[in-house]
Structure 1
Amino acid sequence: MLPQDAVSGAPIRPLTLPRVGAIVASVVVVLELGWLLAALPGAALASDVTATALASWASYACTRTMRRHPAPLRRFWALLALTMGLAAAGRLLWTVDRLRADELPHTPLIGAVFTAGIVTGTAALLAALTAPRSMVGRARAVLDGVIVGLALIPIGWVVVFRDIAAADLDDPLRTIGLLYPMIDLMQLTILVAVAGSARPVWPPLTLIGASLVTRAGADAVYVSLVAHGSYAPGHPIDVCWPLSYLLIGIATTRPPPPTCDGAEEVGESPLPSWWRVALPYLPVGGAIIAVVLARRPTGQTPPLVFVGMMALLGVLALRQGLAANENLRLVARLRRLAYADQLTGLPNRLMFNRRLRQALREGPPVAVLLLDLDGFKQVNDRFGHATGDTLLSSIAVRMRTAVGGDGTIARLGGDEFAVLVDGDRPVAPERLAERLLAALQPSAGEEDVGVHPSASIGIAEFGPQHASHTDLLRDADIAMYAAKAAGKSAYRTCTPALRESAVGRAELIADLRRAVAERQLHLEYQPIVDLATGAVRSAEALVRWRHPRLGLLAPAAFLPLAEETGLIVPIDRWVIHEACRAAATWRALVPEATVAVNIAAAHLRRPDLIATVTAATATAGLAPRALTLELTESALIDGSEAVLERLAQLRELGIRIAIDDFGTGYSSLSYLHRIPATELKIDRSFVARLDTDARAYATVEMVTRLAGAFDLAVVAEGVETEGQHAAVTAIGCVHGQGYRYGRPGRLAALHTPR
């Protein structure tokens, strides 16, 4: 743990060798600044020596950082070290030539060394982690920088040389120096493009940007002073070059970014700011105005300005051509993204519908196979979505192989696929469905792992009854659900009978949505008798539907649809409230009477169940102990810890919990330890065989003893004959329910059976 400052509490960083070097270099720059401002003797030599020393130190610091940083950063630091080395060499040559000739040494050799440094510095920026990885992206960044640099040439000409005599401008050494600040700004533009839109920017890039700004300002002032003939070595502006090298050296003390493994980030890159996009083009307008202002009295444009503008036009044309090429590639990529499924590479729903419409325009024969994977949700729930995605990709490969050139396969979404068969393809849709089912059969290893679902396939062939592609897809969907109802891993072809049945089903669902609001539902109550006394002190509420067209419908005719569509929850709420109201009236005549209500699995998983039950009992004025909630084993087993906690809260309120259809679910014994139940209802399938099946008798007897061990009451369901009544009584069941004791009817009509 780092020691902390006694005043601020901030951690104190240890003085490592790079930090010591940065501190010493900073002191040297400060001393040089004082020397130059005081105009002490030897200021020019001190300036040259300091610049050479700082550039050499920065080169050493970059080399040392290159060795200790991760591999993806080594090229960046190596190129930066080479750039600083070239800067040190150029400053050394400058110093030697200046001392020998006693004038500003603008020689080709020095210019070549500094130019090489510009090339390596630009290459270093393009080697940064945030730089574009493609050649096109790097070329775009370089062109953006060149555009800015060239656009600033005429602007710089007007600013720097506006009051210089035309005769003095004939010296190329005076005018060519204007390129130095322009190149600095070019590199700064490339740095801005390389830094990207990520936040925060890696600190070394910020320090390098500050170095470029410092150097650009120094070069601009230097060129202006030289053009006006007022520069002398040892000028205070000379401190800016060592300062720019110092900033590079300080950048080496910063740690590498948290993630520099070279891997591309997963996710969508943020869009660049508008000013980043417009940056290369902002100076162009100023350059056009500057060209007009830079014209000499003779009407001629200075050669450097003319050449710069011609080069600018050429680079702009190249940049726009590159942008146009990128746009074309982007449009092609967007088309692929729009029409292809990203997981499997198959055409998506949009592309499938497009091809289907085209096939219908070209005319029959056209057929659609709609595939839905059986049990895929269980794969996701059990093994996770990553395994599910891998499975979908594998299944897509198998389907593509099975279909071959006989159809167009697409993934419509989730675990739903489709195949289009059109034109002169000779294969019959049924034959293609058989090939698909065979291809999806799991191998021995997949069978053991249990992660390979089967598929249900619906087939629809285009005919006069289809007005559009949506009608064809609807019929394929109808056939697919028929295949699922037939036991899954099968295919069915849509027929008029299936279509009529589906239409009737859809109409029934629509009617069911209005049933609660229009008071079409009503309750009937089947008595639950005390087998010892024959008294009726409890009843189960059973919902009925008075359909305006179909008449009275039993629960089996509409409750499965209600559960499938989610309408079971509002129906359950109505049943609970209505049963509580009726039970409160009945208890005025039979004070110990209770009423039982069935609760669907979907309602059991809702957190507002407790609020619904408490509101119903409170509104009716019914004691909570007079209400029993009946839950099937399958609903309980599929429940989570939250469901078990919800049942415990209901028991604390006094609500009774019954496990309905006991013995037909799974893991019954283990769940009896966890579910806060008060009674078991033995399934009617066991009771019905009591007269003829000794094993059924033993099962009922065993369940009764088990319930006694758990202090649970037992209700025998489906008692219809005297023999069954005698058997459950002899076994010791406490309560019985069935036609032997009474059929469902009005609660007020319940009476004690004979």
Structure 2
Amino acid sequence: MLPQHVSRAAVAPARLTLSGRVGLVAAAFVVLGEAVWLVVGLPGAALVSHLGGVAVATWATVACVRVARRQPAPLRRFWSLLAVTMALSALGCILWTVEQLNGHRLPHTPLLGVVFTAGIVTGTAALLCSLAAPRSLVGQVRTLLDGVIVGLALIPIGWVVVFRDIAAVALADPLRTFGLLYPMFDLMQLTILVVVAGPSRPMWRPLRVIGASLAIRAAADTTYVSLFAHDSYVPGHPIDVCWALSFLLIGAATRCPPPPACDGEDETAESPQPPWWRVALPYLPVGGAIVAVMLSRRPTGQTPHLIFLAMMTLLGMLALRQGLAANEILRLVARLRRLAYFDQLTGLPNRLTFNRRLRRALYDDVRVAVLLLDVDGFKQVNDRFGHATGDRLLTTIAERMRDAVGADGMIARLGGDEFAVLVEGDRPVPPEPLAERLLAALQPLPGEEDLGVHPSASIGIAEYGPQHTSHTDLLRDADIAMYAAKAAGKSAYRTCTPALRESAVSRAELIADLRRAVDEGQLQLEFQPIVDLATGAVRSAEALVRWRHPRLGMLDPAKFLPLAEATGLILPIDRWVLQEACRAAAAWRQNAPGVIVAVNIAAAHLRRPDLIATVIAATADAGLSPRALTLELTESALIEGSDVVLDRLRQLRELGVRIAIDDFGTGYSSLSYLHRIPATELKIDRSFVARLGAEAPRAYATVEMVTRLAGAFDLAVVAEGVETEAQHAAVTAIGCVHGQGWRYGRPAALPELLAALTPVDVAR
């Protein structure tokens, strides 16, 4: 059984029947026998050549009909037209033979002219129906004109080459003169085949074989016309075998496999750029035709009527071709303008158009306001449902916002999930009510809540004022306000104020300072002990990073770690903390071998493939056993971890590194992920411990439940944020083994921690 993705047409040649193969071999033997007969000059050569042509053309007709039945619609049309062409060729050969048997040596009758002309029309139509041919009517007409122009240009050239040594009186016979049309039509079809074969890509194999057939026929017709013009052609001439050979190649082309995408090509795929010679192809022989016209003049100075008519027709075709080219250029210019100034997904103006319109409005010195919109949670939509769903969501948002804005402003898509609205001049609606209209338009419609995908946005508003020096300043303020709206809970709008602007500037300056903090040694570590609640002995210490800012003084992690995570600076900070914490632990374990060090690792580090190498390098450089290290990871970071992340954590556990789930209970707290994550301990969040007391039975029950849960999973428990005696008594009574908080020690530098590590700690 064939795979479903393989089309039937793709295997049609392999299923060719025995009769089809026998027919091909028999046709080849007919052509070979005819060639031998004509070259040797055996009796009845004329009749043999005609009968051979009829037999091979008839076989080619049958072969084309049979292959057409097995093809999809586009290829079926192509092969059917070729079958008609071969049938007309066979009919023409039969009529020619009958006329010769009736005593006409060269029977150029009107009926034969009609039959052969019809064959030329159907053959040309077949080429224009091939998969590589243009799909539009304009493209097909242009291709046809290319062939006609090349064919017409051949007439003056052929006149000079073929008839230049023939007396004018010998050309009185119109049959001699119009014999030039045979090679002209051949060259026309050959040109069309070259044009439609497809620019800058491999030519479909049947078209190669058909091209060889056309080339042989063109050579045969040119030789025939030359012999006929000189009155030296005799029926049964060896050149006659070329026509039978051309028919044989058409039939042989039916055995070639169809293209892989024969069921229909992707019309949205970008077409490759054609080489220069294909663009210039219809114009290359025109120069030769002009020279030939000059050489074809008779001694009287007159140009033969056929040459004059051909040149006039050629000029008309060239004019029409140029008109089509100009029309195509205009269409391409319009398309390029749309590509340059409009978003292809939503049809809205793009960033370039928006910026140009904004700059023009500022230049005209009118009142200007900008609303900057960012879709909330769009990345999660792409990750969960795929980019196709994300694109549909963006299209829906664009339609709703376009309807909400109406004539009160210009809406544009700046890129990704970011949109902007420009309000200028004497606006009938202030920007704040317009923002409310936009938020209302993005509210989920009935039924959308159940889909899990519905739009919402955060909007920032900025109005042009004296503080702005350019349109970029205005967009910056709108961006500041938009992030303030996101921080306010999303699906909201904020207007940029001096306070917001000052806060954003301070944030940018702080980020710039943070980039230098690691290199300039501004970071330092403090350690908070984690004690055994039963004995009070220090069992481990958590490394906490501090930033001694040269201007702002000592900054707590809450002041700069969120910025570090948002900018990616958390990675070098985490590496520095890990290295320094391992060195400190190696120092204190000389006096307290049982005390381990705990280091917080950001979620960004979990997704990095060098996590294990980083941990191994830090412990090895410090001379610290991996068993003396605990990595603390937040619940949310672990929940979002992929199978690859979980595999890295398992490898760390195999090395001996401990894994602690920090702030347990504040995230998703799913029991299922406890089965997957190779954790060694849970740290109960300080928010639960802070509520412990006689009047907080729910908090007591929560801590007790987590403790029992940890015991069921064979995990150690650390109660964080223990500050009072009552909290200490509560967590001890519940059964927590370890505690951490100001009750047992504040974060301090390494020397102070070393003083707390007494020999008693080691004994216990």
Normalised-by-shorter TM-score class: over 0.9
Structure 1 residue corresponding to 2:703, chosen from 700, 703, 709:
700
Q: Which moved more, 1:478-487 or 1:193-202?
A: 193-202
Q: Which moved more, 1:447-456 or 1:183-192?
A: 447-456
- What pairs with 1:488-637 in structure 2 (closer than 5 Å)? 488-637=490-639
Cross-structure match for 1:6: none
Cross-structure match for 1:5: none
User: What is the deviation of 1:298?
Assistant: 4.6
Task: Indicate conservation of the 8 Å contact 1:19/1:253, yes or no.
Answer: no
Task: Indicate conservation of the 8 Å contact 2:592/2:757, yes or no.
Answer: no
Q: Determine whether 1:216 maps to 2:225.
A: no
- Relative to structure 1, the CA distance from residue 344 to residue 45 in structure 2 (aligned partners, 3 Å threshold; closer, same or farther) is same
Task: Indicate conservation of the 8 Å contact 1:633/1:668, yes or no.
Answer: no
Structure 1 residue corresponding to 2:664, chosen from 662, 665, 668:
662
Structure 2 residue corresponding to 1:638, chosen from 640, 655, 659:
640
Secondary structure of the structure 2 residue equivalent to 1:595: strand
Q: Deviations over 1:401-431 (max 9, x none)?
A: 1111111111111111111111233011111
Cross-structure match for 1:134: 136
C-alpha distance in 2 between matches for 1:568 and 1:12: 61
Secondary structure of the structure 1 residue equivalent to 2:234: coil
Give the letter aligned to residue 605 of structure 2.
Answer: H
- Relative to structure 1, the CA distance from residue 753 to residue 593 in structure 2 (aligned partners, 3 Å threshold; closer, same or farther) is closer
C-alpha distance in 2 between matches for 1:20 and 1:467: 84
Secondary structure of the structure 1 residue equivalent to 2:525: strand
Q: How many residues align?
A: 746
Q: Which moved more, 1:662-671 or 1:525-534?
A: 662-671
C-alpha distance in 1 between matches for 2:757 and 2:136: 88
User: What is the deviation of 1:14?
Assistant: 5.9
Secondary structure of the structure 2 residue equivalent to 1:673: helix
C-alpha distance in 1 between matches for 2:702 and 2:114: 100
Q: Determine whether 1:22 maps to 2:24.
A: yes
- What pairs with 1:363-512 in structure 2 (closer than 5 Å)? 363-512=365-514
Q: Deviations over 1:360-412 (max 9, x none)?
A: 22222211111111111111111111111111111111111111111111111
Cross-structure match for 1:43: 45
User: What is the deviation of 1:434?
Assistant: 0.8
Give the letter aligned to residue 239 of structure 1.
Answer: V
Task: Indicate conservation of the 8 Å contact 2:723/2:743, yes or no.
Answer: yes
User: What is the deviation of 1:199?
Assistant: 4.2
Q: Which moved more, 1:83-92 or 1:297-306?
A: 297-306
Task: Indicate conservation of the 8 Å contact 2:529/2:542, yes or no.
Answer: yes
Q: Deviations over 1:165-197 (max 9, x none)?
A: 344334332222122112101111011112213
C-alpha distance in 2 between matches for 1:74 and 1:677: 65
Task: Indicate conservation of the 8 Å contact 1:164/1:228, yes or no.
Answer: yes
Cross-structure match for 2:285: 283
Secondary structure of the structure 2 residue equivalent to 1:630: strand
- What pairs with 1:79-158 in structure 2 (closer than 5 Å)? 79-158=81-160
Cross-structure match for 1:203: 205
Secondary structure of the structure 2 residue equivalent to 1:518: coil
- Relative to structure 1, the CA distance from residue 753 to residue 424 in structure 2 (aligned partners, 3 Å threshold; closer, same or farther) is same
Q: CA RMSD in A?
A: 2.1
Task: Indicate conservation of the 8 Å contact 1:364/1:462, yes or no.
Answer: no
C-alpha distance in 2 between matches for 1:312 and 1:401: 54
- What pairs with 1:668-683 in structure 2 (closer than 5 Å)? 668-683=670-685
Task: Indicate conservation of the 8 Å contact 1:441/1:454, yes or no.
Answer: yes
Give the letter aligned to residue 382 of structure 1.
Answer: R
Secondary structure of the structure 1 residue equivalent to 2:269: coil
Give the letter aligned to residue 685 of structure 2.
Answer: D
Cross-structure match for 1:716: 719
- What pairs with 1:224-373 in structure 2 (closer than 5 Å)? 224-262=226-264, 264-373=266-375
Q: Determine whether 1:735 maps to 2:738.
A: yes
User: What is the deviation of 1:213?
Assistant: 0.9
Q: Which moved more, 1:291-300 or 1:444-453?
A: 291-300
Q: Which moved more, 1:732-741 or 1:106-115?
A: 106-115
Structure 2 residue corresponding to 1:58, chosen from 39, 60, 63:
60
Secondary structure of the structure 2 residue equivalent to 1:419: strand
Q: Deviations over 1:245-302 (max 9, x none)?
A: 2222222344544433345444212222222222222222333333333344454443
- Relative to structure 1, the CA distance from residue 65 to residue 675 in structure 2 (aligned partners, 3 Å threshold; closer, same or farther) is closer
Task: Indicate conservation of the 8 Å contact 2:630/2:657, yes or no.
Answer: yes
Q: Determine whether 1:749 maps to 2:721.
A: no
C-alpha distance in 1 between matches for 2:537 and 2:68: 93
Q: Deviations over 1:78-116 (max 9, x none)?
A: 322322232223222322333334421223332232222
User: What is the deviation of 1:546?
Assistant: 0.9
Cross-structure match for 1:8: none
Secondary structure of the structure 1 residue equivalent to 2:345: coil
C-alpha distance in 1 between matches for 2:715 and 2:112: 100
Q: Which moved more, 1:75-84 or 1:221-230?
A: 75-84
- Relative to structure 1, the CA distance from residue 734 to residue 12 in structure 2 (aligned partners, 3 Å threshold; closer, same or farther) is closer
Task: Indicate conservation of the 8 Å contact 2:530/2:538, yes or no.
Answer: yes
Unmatched segments (≥5 aa) in structure 1: 3-10
Give the letter aligned to residue 343 of structure 1.
Answer: L
Unmatched segments (≥5 aa) in structure 2: 3-12, 759-764
Cross-structure match for 1:7: none
Give the letter aligned to residue 744 of structure 2.
Answer: Y
C-alpha distance in 1 between matches for 2:710 and 2:422: 57
Task: Indicate conservation of the 8 Å contact 1:106/1:173, yes or no.
Answer: yes
Give the letter aligned to residue 574 of structure 1.
Answer: W
Q: Deviations over 1:593-634 (max 9, x none)?
A: 211111111112111111111111111111211111111111
Q: Which moved more, 1:597-606 or 1:154-163?
A: 154-163
User: What is the deviation of 1:577?
Assistant: 0.7
User: What is the deviation of 1:157?
Assistant: 2.3
C-alpha distance in 2 between matches for 1:568 and 1:700: 31
Q: Deviations over 1:226-249 (max 9, x none)?
A: 122221111010111122122222
Q: Deviations over 1:493-550 (max 9, x none)?
A: 1111111111111111111111111111111111112222212242111111111111
Give the letter aligned to residue 45 of structure 1.
Answer: L
Give the letter aligned to residue 731 of structure 2.
Answer: V
C-alpha distance in 1 between matches for 2:446 and 2:742: 50
Task: Indicate conservation of the 8 Å contact 1:370/1:459, yes or no.
Answer: yes
- Relative to structure 1, the CA distance from residue 650 to residue 753 in structure 2 (aligned partners, 3 Å threshold; closer, same or farther) is closer
Task: Indicate conservation of the 8 Å contact 1:58/1:246, yes or no.
Answer: yes
TM-score normalized by the length of structure 1 = 0.95
Task: Indicate conservation of the 8 Å contact 1:742/1:753, yes or no.
Answer: no
Task: Indicate conservation of the 8 Å contact 2:393/2:455, yes or no.
Answer: no
C-alpha distance in 2 between matches for 1:639 and 1:480: 29
Task: Indicate conservation of the 8 Å contact 1:145/1:188, yes or no.
Answer: yes
Q: Which moved more, 1:295-304 or 1:272-281?
A: 295-304
C-alpha distance in 2 between matches for 1:74 and 1:718: 79
- Relative to structure 1, the CA distance from residue 153 to residue 618 in structure 2 (aligned partners, 3 Å threshold; closer, same or farther) is same
Task: Indicate conservation of the 8 Å contact 2:200/2:275, yes or no.
Answer: no
TM-score normalized by the length of structure 2 = 0.94
